[in-house]
Structure 1
Amino acid sequence: MRTSSSRRHFLKTAITAPAVGTVFSRFLTMASANGITKDHSELRPVQDETTGLPLLRLPEGFRYQSFGWVGDRMSDGVITPEGHDGMAVISQTGDVITICRNHEIRGSQSFGPEAITFDQKAGGGCANLQFNVKTGKWLKSWTSLAGTVQNCAGGPTPWGTWLSCEETVIGPNESFRDVQYQHEKHHGWVFEVPAEGTASLEPLKALGRFVHEALAIDPRDGIIYETEDRDTAGFYRFLPNELEVLTKGGGLQMLKVKGQSDLRTGAKRGVRYEAEWVDIEDPERRNTPGKEDGLGVYSQGKEKGATTFGRLEGCWYGDGLVYFNCTNGGEAGLGQVWSFSPKDQTLQLVFQSPSHEILDSPDNLTVSPRGGLILCEDADLKPLRLHALSRKGTLKTVAINNIQLKKGQHHNLEGDFSGGEWAGACFSPDGKWLFVNIQDPGMTFAITGPWEELGV
């Protein structure tokens, strides 16, 4: 899956915006010293330019259009499945960008053609979307990977592909939460999806078999950082044997924070924790020996003193730092945002939510080209919110799910969907458009407006 130098330049530029590192160095210092304030700016219902429905509440001056609703027919004839989740912009040609979007589905049947199906009895996968950033128009979409299970998040590569992660370790003919599935293959892998065409069906087993959530790649050395969505979770890194050719394998390691066996609680903002790494000898081990716990990789690291986190979720690289969310970490169990410096090998707590009103269960995240973080909320709340940690250290709510559908308005969908989780936030390389999903009922939004006024 080698790509042209122009595409490599595009994505390296897109994920290493010069302002981010400097801005966030100041941000971390300010947040540590002064804490973070919450900005309750007025948000108003705004009509979707596609359907005319007031699906989102946004700040003054913002507009949006939806695309790729569940039930819509894609350009290749495949019906758009449910479960819209993680995604990223992975290439740009002229004014046209390509986005790859995950579909978090277990299912019992592939939604795509046989040629791109890993397991005929599995319902997850990916779709690619194209958007013209100059005209502000959606162009087309197609199936790019099928027959996988619970594709939650993943991450873009500097060479212009998407790494899609399975959030499960389910095997053939097994049950999950009392539901019997007829999967034909073992799952729990990462798959690589190109911007053009369709994915290879070869799972990248060296990246580990665990309940994957997201990953981020440091473009300076190709090291991949991975998160695990379990109550006892590890933060991992993968050192590839050959850059851009992940099928050549490599080494998997788990983070060990000096003097800290468990950072689910007790973490101090402003402290720079020193990091080490321990080797995972068997990255394909599914379970702890003698147990059926799905923690085979985690337990290997734990035996060597690695650090426990709670439900690690979104992960994104921004000019020298790797950010990741811990969705139920912190004293209140409502979420933490961490930053890891590969250069200094240090870990720092950026933010910890004290209450539901401030932030509840951050999931996917992204870094703006201008600096600042977008945090997707996934909690038992209505309505769910999209937040921004600004360059000035202010937490702002930048969008609210306002989806209330009456029968006949769109594909006969009906009900209150304001509790549908936000997912897949990512910016266009020029920073003008934010792309984001709402998982239930399932659609993608392109949002534009004066982002710089919000500090992101």
Structure 2
Amino acid sequence: MERRTVLRAAVLGAGAAAFSGSLWRQAAAYPALPGPSPYGALQTADANGIRLPAGFTSRVIARSTQKVSGTNHTWHQAPDGGACFADGSGWIYVSNAEMGSGQGGAGAVKFNSAAQITGAYAILSGTQRNCAGGATPWNTWLSCEEVDTGFVYETDPWGVNPAAQRPAMGRFNHEAAAADPVRKVVYLTEDKSDGRFYRFVPTTWGNLSSGTLQVLKETGGALSWATVPDPDGSPTATRYQVSGAKVFNGGEGCHYRADICYFTTKGDNRVWAYHAAANTLAVVYDDNVSGAPLTGVDNVTAAAVGDLYVAEDGGNMEICIITPSDVVAPFLRITGQSSSEITGPAFNPAGNRLYFSSQRGTSGSSSGGITYEVTGPFRTSL
């Protein structure tokens, strides 16, 4: 057997018994393998240096250290994780600033129904290395600090209510967050080579000021959740407090959809699927199995039809698509920016515009960040 066939069989054997029905049919195809994109081949680079499928176009929304067009707001440096929020007939795109020395935070750009920019403003400032995060069902943005004993900040995309620190969600090297409204928990990733996968159980759903931080355990192949005794992470880091906590090599982005929390680990270049209802794990993508069309896995989002969009930190500067039929292929590629990374992919509420950033742009420095929008015939059915 070819090496990828052996590895694929090993991945399936680890958790096959836990799946049944349509979920089993999906899991049986993991990990995804290279194939043709549903959008076809990438075309030559456009005026913005982006290679897109036929029928798609790009535009620049904002540039770091420059005023957002039509506003007085200067866009932040090192744009990172992001999300979109409905705003009447328009929407808001929020973006983190992965800057240290108290220069971190988050900003927002507001669009009307015609996708015209109508405003831009800060929603968080004075924090440290705000990397990724996640949206909540009650329309707030969780901005996560990627530093040891970092906090999660709950922010208002409209910039009306002040940001609130949420220490009950744990102090550790936070990366991303994904809310699960069915089980009323928030999943959290940790960007450490021996990081853990957490969930926060609020005392009251919709209020993150208090609750219980739990970590995923694996005992004899069975998964369970255990309470972290000291979410403050001092003197013992949260990842070392629970014996048997499952180790993940460099947790990055995460996204919840339809009972599954998808998350990425950069150390082993994998995309995982935690199926919450079945309490099982599967590997959606593994570069050792799939032939590495996708490297430097980082932020992740999903389209309504179920396609995953995974941004690369390095690699070929691509956003790759992973389809529900388990095909992985490039969706776009940014050219001429090899010293950057792609961050913050997020769809507008209608699902016909994709936002993302090149964190360091053409200059390779934090001040060179560029935030883009891609528009085109995103599929609405499989």
TM class by shorter-chain length?
0.7 to 0.9
- Residue 165 of structure 2 aligns to a residue whose secondary structure is coil
Q: 2:88 & 2:179 partners in 1: Cα distance? A: 22
**Amino acid paired to 1:154:** G
Per-residue displacement from partner, 1:61-118 (whole Å, max 9, x unpaired)?
A: 1012111211222477342221110000133312x101211010003xxxxxxxxxxx
The corresponding residue for 1:172 is none
1:279 aligns with 2:246: no
Tell me, what secondary structure is at the counterpart of 1:298?
helix
Q: CA contact under 8 A between 2:251 and 2:264: conserved in structure 1?
A: yes
Question: 1:155: Cα distance to partner?
Answer: 0.2
Identity %, equivalent residues: 30
> Structure 1 pair 61/23, CA: closer, same or farther in 2 (3 Å)?
farther
8 Å Cα contact 2:71/2:119 also seen in 1: no
1:398 paired residue number: 331
CA distance in 2, matches of 1:208, 1:163: 13
What are structure 1's unaligned runs of at least 5 residues?
1-21, 48-52, 108-121, 170-186, 261-273, 289-295, 330-334, 404-416
Q: Pick which of 78-87 and 134-143 moved more.
A: 134-143
Q: How far 1:60 moved relative to its partner?
A: 0.8
Partner of 1:293: none
Query: Which residue is equivalent to 1:73?
Result: 67
| 1:23–1:371 contact (8 Å) kept in structure 2 | no
Alignment match, 1:246: 208
Q: How does 1:44-443 map onto structure 2 within 5 Å?
A: 44-47=43-46, 53-74=47-68, 77-94=72-89, 96-107=90-101, 122-132=102-112, 134-169=113-148, 188-198=150-160, 200-247=162-209, 249-259=210-220, 274-288=222-236, 296-301=237-242, 304-329=243-268, 335-354=269-288, 357-379=292-314, 381=315, 383-403=316-336, 417-440=337-360, 441-443=368-370
Contact persistence 1:45–1:54 (CA under 8 A): no
Distance in structure 2 (CA, Å) of the matches to 1:393 and 1:27: 8
Superposed CA offset, 1:205-259 (max 9, x none): 0100000000101112320100000000000011000111112x10011001232
Q: Distance in 2 between matches of 1:28 and 1:350?
A: 8
| 1:17-28 equivalent positions in 2, closer than 5 A | 26-28=25-27
Aligned length: 351
CA distance in 2, matches of 1:246, 1:149: 20
CA distance in 1, matches of 2:136, 2:338: 32
Over 3 Å counting, the alpha-carbon distance change for 1:55 and 1:199 in structure 2 is farther
Amino acid at match of 2:379: E
Mapped to 1, the partners of 2:380 and 2:73 lie a distance apart of: 40
How many angstroms apart in 1 are the aligned matches of 2:179 and 2:22? 20
Q: Does structure 2 conserve the Cα–Cα contact (< 8 Å) formed by 1:370 and 1:431? A: no
1:454–1:86 CA distance, 2 compared to 1 (3 A): farther
One-letter code aligned to 1:350? V
Paired amino acid for 1:258: T
Within the alignment, does 1:37 sit opposite 2:34 as a pair?
A: yes
TM-score normalised by length of structure 1: 0.72
Change in CA separation of 1:88 and 1:201 when aligned onto 2, cut-off 3 Å: closer
TM-superposed CA distance for 1:324, in Å, is 0.4
CA distance in 1 between counterparts of 2:341 and 2:330 reads 15
TM-score after normalising by structure 2: 0.86
CA distance in 2, matches of 1:342, 1:46: 40
